[in-house]
Structure 1
Amino acid sequence: MIDDLLSEVFDFVETQSLISDAFSARGPWVTRSATSDPLKLIAVVNGGARLTTDGIDRPLQMQAGDVAVLNNRSWLKIQGGNGDGIPREIPSPPGPIAVRLFEGGSDDTDVVLGSRLRLNPVGQELLLQVLPPVGYLRASAAAATQLRCSLTRLMEETNTNRIGSAFAVRRQTQLMLLDILRAYIEQIHLPAGWLRLLTDDRLRPVLSLMHTRPGERWTVDKLARAAAMSRTSFANHFRSVAGVPPLTYLNTWRMLLAQRSLSDSDAAVGPLGARLGYASESAFSAAFKRHTGESPSHYRRGQRRAWQFADSS
């Protein structure tokens, strides 16, 4: 099942979220800001808004319940309201906003929420390559109901000091991103990449083998037989779906497993490399450094420092 494969891949994604912009306004209004966040969510909680950013030809006309996902955009402008007069400039607030802003209101009140997403390096590698520059999820989409629930829960956890809030924020953000990916799969013809690969019925047996037995010495011939295809047909089809050859994908999967293990455990480098199919510790270390730019031991230290700092901030 695709959800099983998506869950397996998505397990590598670690997130933290901060509600960084939130306001309610009546009458004409506008807010502008630069953004350097890899991923940013904009949600209209009530009313409507028009969102403009680099990478789109015309403003998104957002209604209550709509969510936009900005992928490595450099600036955004959001405006809304009805009536005459010069739009009121709404500055971006410096920190989290109290939940009281989202209570009550009337039909002519626009309520907008912005959330910055912090991703671990693996999460950035996986998500930024498959999400469009601007993803748009309408309230009428099948996944939107669950997404709105996730946004409400995230807002509550971010703005309270309840025990376990930091853990809840991370998990709720991951669920929110999962809902977005599900909607993306349902609504859009997927470009070549790992997300499209997960949806390909012909390649599912091959993907299952590579994921569950990554240390085996796979060849294109072996994988083609598992897919019940000729070697040439399999290699061509895999590349057209995944965007990379089969063994390149396998090596990437091995590196993702290695990154997770180095971040989450004290596994020794040599045995870890052996489990992933490398003949020696030096061969594994060289492959890991080509993929990440760091040695396994340096990567492990850096990841632990980064997430300890994020947890304390």
Structure 2
Amino acid sequence: MAANDPWISHDPLGEALHFLRMNGMFYCRSEFTAPWGLALPAMPSCLMFHVVTSGRCWLELDGEPPQALQPGDFALVAHGAGHRLVHEPGADCAGLFDLPRAEVGERYEVLRHGGDGKPTQLICGAVRFEQPAARQLVALLPRSIVIEAAQLPQRQWMQDTLRFMADEAGQLRPGGETIVTRLADILVIQAIRAWIERDPAAQGGWLGALRDRQIGRALTLVHADPARDWSLATLASAAAMSRSAFAARFSALVGMPAMQYVTRLRMHTAMAELREHGRSVGALAERLGYDSEAAFSRAFKRHTGLSPGAVRRGIA
């Protein structure tokens, strides 16, 4: 891919959001009546979300005060931490996998629980991100994010989307499962965008580097083609900077030297391919630009402390 390719995004932060392609682990429509409480277990490497479509509830996450959720609110638990949804703070909870559920599709189910009191309905899900740039972005998120519909400038759009989503979840006509999951993915990205726009913590570090016109362009090129034979010279040229100025600015904004970042991105890509797709070590070595399988294996073990074969076999 040429460094002056006109198709390379001029919005590196938007490009990072583009990488937020989600692999849905599960989605469910939850129908609760007070008194009720749901305990969700830790799901490492997953982002969990909850959309309140009617009624009210509370999100409880250890170490944080309970957060009230109103109709239209959207809550993210970013790092797979165990948490609770309850009709009131401190309510007794049943475990997610201890409750009966109606399986509607391979990844979609309906969950019902509670007594004879006020109803609350939610759409919940757990998703995982495979692309390393997306994982790096998600790693920067706080433990939880609550987007209040009333505070969003896109309130009408969000409300219309939620109504459409709730209607599809309630009826699940042919193709309804696909519509619900796609809309959920869009809402997750919208919630992350809202956090980036309003939280000072999102203005520096790697996200700040993406906003930098020159360093952001270099990052976009590396994310799009990590296997290319990148060098400090080619990256500096793509950013229209001298090598010394580029190296200093990249390290200052990203927190590590440019070539270390390239290698780390390649190793994260390899880790995901080995664990989740079972790619062969030889194929990965060729794909990521290594001259031999042995050279790739040495680099992988040096950076991860694990052998590629052990990761591929699921024993590391």
| 2:28 paired with 1:15 | no
Pick closer, same or farther for the CA change 1:195–1:145 going to 2, 3 Å.
Answer: farther
Of 58, 61, 69, which aligns to 2:68?
61
Contact 2:168/2:180 (8 A) holds in 1: no
Pick closer, same or farther for the CA change 1:164–1:138 going to 2, 3 Å.
Answer: closer
| 2:81 paired with 1:73 | yes
Task: Read off the aligned partner of 2:73 and give its amino acid letter.
Answer: D
Q: What SS does the aligned partner of 1:33 have?
A: strand
Alpha-carbon distance between aligned partners in 2 of 1:6 and 1:181, rounded to the nearest angstrom: 11
Contact 1:197/1:241 (8 A) holds in 2: yes
Of 200, 217, 220, which aligns to 2:212?
200
Residue in structure 1 matched with residue 4 of structure 2 by the alignment: none
C-alpha deviation, 1:272, in angstroms = 4.4
Of 152, 160, 164, which aligns to 1:141?
152
Alpha-carbon distance between aligned partners in 2 of 1:129 and 1:173, rounded to the nearest angstrom: 20
Q: What SS does the aligned partner of 1:176 have?
A: helix
| 2:117 paired with 1:111 | no
| 2:192 paired with 1:181 | yes
Pick closer, same or farther for the CA change 1:243–1:284 going to 2, 3 Å.
Answer: same
| CA root-mean-square deviation | 4.3
Pick closer, same or farther for the CA change 1:73–1:90 going to 2, 3 Å.
Answer: closer
Alpha-carbon distance between aligned partners in 2 of 1:121 and 1:77, rounded to the nearest angstrom: 27
Contact 2:217/2:239 (8 A) holds in 1: yes
Task: Read off the aligned partner of 2:198 and give its amino acid letter.
Answer: Q
C-alpha deviation, 1:113, in angstroms = 1.7
Residue in structure 1 matched with residue 308 of structure 2 by the alignment: 295
Alpha-carbon distance between aligned partners in 2 of 1:10 and 1:125, rounded to the nearest angstrom: 8
Alpha-carbon distance between aligned partners in 1 of 2:279 and 2:37, rounded to the nearest angstrom: 48
Task: Read off the aligned partner of 1:278 and give its amino acid letter.
Answer: Y
Contact 2:20/2:129 (8 A) holds in 1: no
> Normalising by structure 2, what TM-score?
0.67
Q: Render the CA deviation track for 1:224-260: whole Å, top value 9, x for unaligned.
A: 3433445555344434443443223212333455467
Q: What SS does the aligned partner of 2:291 have?
A: coil
Please show how residues 1-313 of structure 1 align to structure 2 within 5 Å. 1-2=11-12, 4-11=14-21, 13-19=22-28, 21-25=30-34, 29=35, 31=37, 33=39, 35-37=41-43, 38-56=46-64, 58-71=65-78, 72-76=80-84, 78-80=86-88, 91=94, 93-95=99-101, 98=110, 111-113=120-122, 115-119=124-128, 125-126=135-136, 128-139=138-149, 140-142=151-153, 149=161, 152-153=164-165, 156=168, 160=172, 162=174, 165=177, 171-189=182-200, 190=202, 194-229=206-241, 231=243, 233-258=245-270, 269-270=281-282, 272-288=284-300, 290-291=303-304, 293=306, 295=308, 299=312
User: Percent identity among equivalent residues?
Assistant: 26
Pick closer, same or farther for the CA change 1:260–1:59 going to 2, 3 Å.
Answer: closer
Q: Render the CA deviation track for 1:171-224: whole Å, top value 9, x for unaligned.
A: 444333222222222222216555444333231221233234433433334433
C-alpha deviation, 1:6, in angstroms = 2.3
Alpha-carbon distance between aligned partners in 1 of 2:254 and 2:147, rounded to the nearest angstrom: 24
Pick closer, same or farther for the CA change 1:281–1:155 going to 2, 3 Å.
Answer: farther
Pick closer, same or farther for the CA change 1:100–1:204 going to 2, 3 Å.
Answer: same
Contact 2:57/2:85 (8 A) holds in 1: no
Alpha-carbon distance between aligned partners in 2 of 1:48 and 1:254, rounded to the nearest angstrom: 44
Alpha-carbon distance between aligned partners in 1 of 2:163 and 2:262, rounded to the nearest angstrom: 35
Contact 1:142/1:183 (8 A) holds in 2: no
Q: Render the CA deviation track for 1:123-153: whole Å, top value 9, x for unaligned.
A: 7944541221011211032456555526853
Pick closer, same or farther for the CA change 1:203–1:20 going to 2, 3 Å.
Answer: same
Task: Read off the aligned partner of 2:53 and give its amino acid letter.
Answer: V
Alpha-carbon distance between aligned partners in 2 of 1:217 and 1:122, rounded to the nearest angstrom: 20
Pick closer, same or farther for the CA change 1:54–1:208 going to 2, 3 Å.
Answer: same
> Normalising by structure 1, what TM-score?
0.68
Task: Read off the aligned partner of 2:295 and give its amino acid letter.
Answer: A
Contact 2:49/2:75 (8 A) holds in 1: yes
